[in-house]
Structure 1
């Protein structure tokens, strides 16, 4: 990830989907709207960039905050921007084309390594629910992993985690065949791969039934959260009150989404009828997401030094980064409600 990867020209003329509470529209650039208080409204505009080029149920708290008025109650008008690729969200923060974003924790570590001025402001999830999945009834296990085909999205998270699985199994990268692609479940169901890599809240409803799971500690992966909310370092310094307001609204919306799961899912279905996910999938996926959202103390969002030092050291071990920075280089809890 070099400096040119974060040049504004890389994202300025991309075609992305831009979503507001009123519906879906296309815009030719993500730089068209700057954060400001409208002359006709006291609400501050904030653009939230998702970590994936299309919507899925992990957007539910943001949709709920729009629909139930939590953003408005905290003085904000928040719209959602979808990046052209999974690697573009960090770029959008770096080039100030969005104010807040959802990122994987590994993406943020790689960005800091590349000296991109971004910072994590809250955990989205609190656990590492990533692992390997096989079809229901399969006899596959870590003991039989050698010689098998494993699907990978080719993202930084999978690249960071897979070596730990291999170490747990006593194998090396040469002992498996990694298959990259844009869709995991069809390859698994057709027998073209033996395992897919994903998280429980996506893989289980996608595969159906009771898929074979090798997840978390059983997979040998570090116990760290997968996703975080992040912002640009300079934006955090200049607009701290806005960042705090965003997180306060997200706390209200996340709790509401837990307490009203059925209605929360219907909000998502209505906002994104062409997402490609069925209502049944979204119901199960969100139900599986809910237990990931609070820590053992029952708190949302709170990050720890240990989670960041553990992840950074793990990424050094698998040679994704050369050295681990101090935890304070990656995160702050100062904007939490």
Structure 2
């Protein structure tokens, strides 16, 4: 991210289903084994954030650690959470707010690896609130009464918009949030169906290519170097398959480090699972892929969630985080 996602409403493409291994003999844990290789299904979002997994798979990092990944795309982390807890996926990618909400609702999730982080630079992040070039809206405060698109309601993007509106002196409760997939936001904004969109790459670059502009770097407004998303599994799977989890953690750490130091290869791999044109992709702002989650930033995000009434009970960070 630069990037992010909750309400636990599942998207139709992620109907809770009985899991089965993608190859080999399936076990009760939903993974298949073939010799020393374990096949695992991973739920992802078609955004720049998850490029390290595609890159790590291409470079053989997961194979080296005895894993074969089957990657499935979904609209948001809120939909991936039930997919993981039902056993449809062994691992998933979700924004941190979605995981905090799930944990506070006693949904058995466990973060196992870092996902992405904000660049921490105002105006140079992978996510931003955007408007059309000729929009009269100049600041987040002016989003009061306006229709603002986010990929899923009650998630990190809603929290981020609310943080920016409040920071600018506005009332976040007066914003009209609408749910829309990231890849649909550029056309909706250009066509006037929405007044603003909280987007992450590659949708951010697409909107800019259409003449749109940023009015706030919302991830930066939440906290410096915000941990926007993480990879996670179910607590049951983690308990029953500690060696598989360890392999996934090690391979993902290699993949994150490689992606962070090879931006050109990141852009190349993103073109394989998104429809973003090459000229737009060249302008994409990449997120940071640090090895470790930033706990202080997650605590700040949790505080905003409390203020926004997202939690039925206090999320337990010690239980959730790796």
> In which range does the TM-score fall when normalised by the shorter chain?
0.7 to 0.9
Counterpart among 238, 241, 244 of residue 243 in structure 2: 241
Does residue 64 (structure 1) correspond to residue 41 (structure 2)? The answer is no
Contact 1:2 1:114 in 2 (8 A): no
| Whole-angstrom distance in 2 between the partners of 1:276 and 1:200 | 12
Higher RCO (CA < 8 A, seq sep 6+) = 2
- More off after superposition, 87-96 vs 192-201: 192-201
Per the alignment, do residues 178 and 92 of structure 1 end up closer, same or farther by CA in structure 2, a change over 3 Å counting?
Answer: closer
Contact 1:153 1:181 in 2 (8 A): yes
| Deviation string, structure 1 residues 277-325 (Cα, Å, up to 9, x no partner) | 222333433xx224x223xxxxx2x124423332222211111113323
| Whole-angstrom distance in 2 between the partners of 1:86 and 1:303 | 17
Contact 2:105 2:312 in 1 (8 A): no
Contact 1:108 1:118 in 2 (8 A): yes
Partner of 2:185: 184
Q: What SS class does the counterpart of residue 247 from structure 1 fall into? A: helix
1:165-244 equivalences under 5 Å are 165-173=164-172, 175-182=174-181, 183-199=184-200, 202-208=203-209, 211-216=213-218, 220-223=221-224, 224-244=226-246
Partner of 1:27: none
Partner of 1:46: 40
Does residue 105 (structure 1) correspond to residue 96 (structure 2)? The answer is yes
Counterpart among 300, 325, 328 of residue 315 in structure 2: 325
1:141-156 equivalences under 5 Å are 141-155=139-153, 156=155
TM-score of the superposed pair, with normalisation by structure 1: 0.75
Per the alignment, do residues 173 and 60 of structure 1 end up closer, same or farther by CA in structure 2, a change over 3 Å counting?
Answer: closer
Contact 2:41 2:70 in 1 (8 A): yes
Q: Structure 2: which 5+ residue stretches go unaligned?
A: 1-5
Q: Indicate the RMSD between aligned Cα atoms, in angstroms.
A: 3.5
| Deviation string, structure 1 residues 125-147 (Cα, Å, up to 9, x no partner) | 12275442223475612354444
| Whole-angstrom distance in 2 between the partners of 1:151 and 1:201 | 16
Q: What SS class does the counterpart of residue 107 from structure 1 fall into? A: helix
Counterpart among 304, 309, 322 of residue 299 in structure 2: 309
| Whole-angstrom distance in 2 between the partners of 1:161 and 1:125 | 15
Contact 2:98 2:156 in 1 (8 A): yes
Per the alignment, do residues 10 and 136 of structure 1 end up closer, same or farther by CA in structure 2, a change over 3 Å counting?
Answer: closer
| Deviation string, structure 1 residues 89-126 (Cα, Å, up to 9, x no partner) | 10111112211111110110111122111111222112
Shift of 1:153: 2.7
Structure number with greater Rg is 1
Does residue 289 (structure 1) correspond to residue 286 (structure 2)? The answer is yes
Q: Which runs of 4+ in 1 moved over 6 A?
A: 1-5
Contact 1:146 1:171 in 2 (8 A): yes
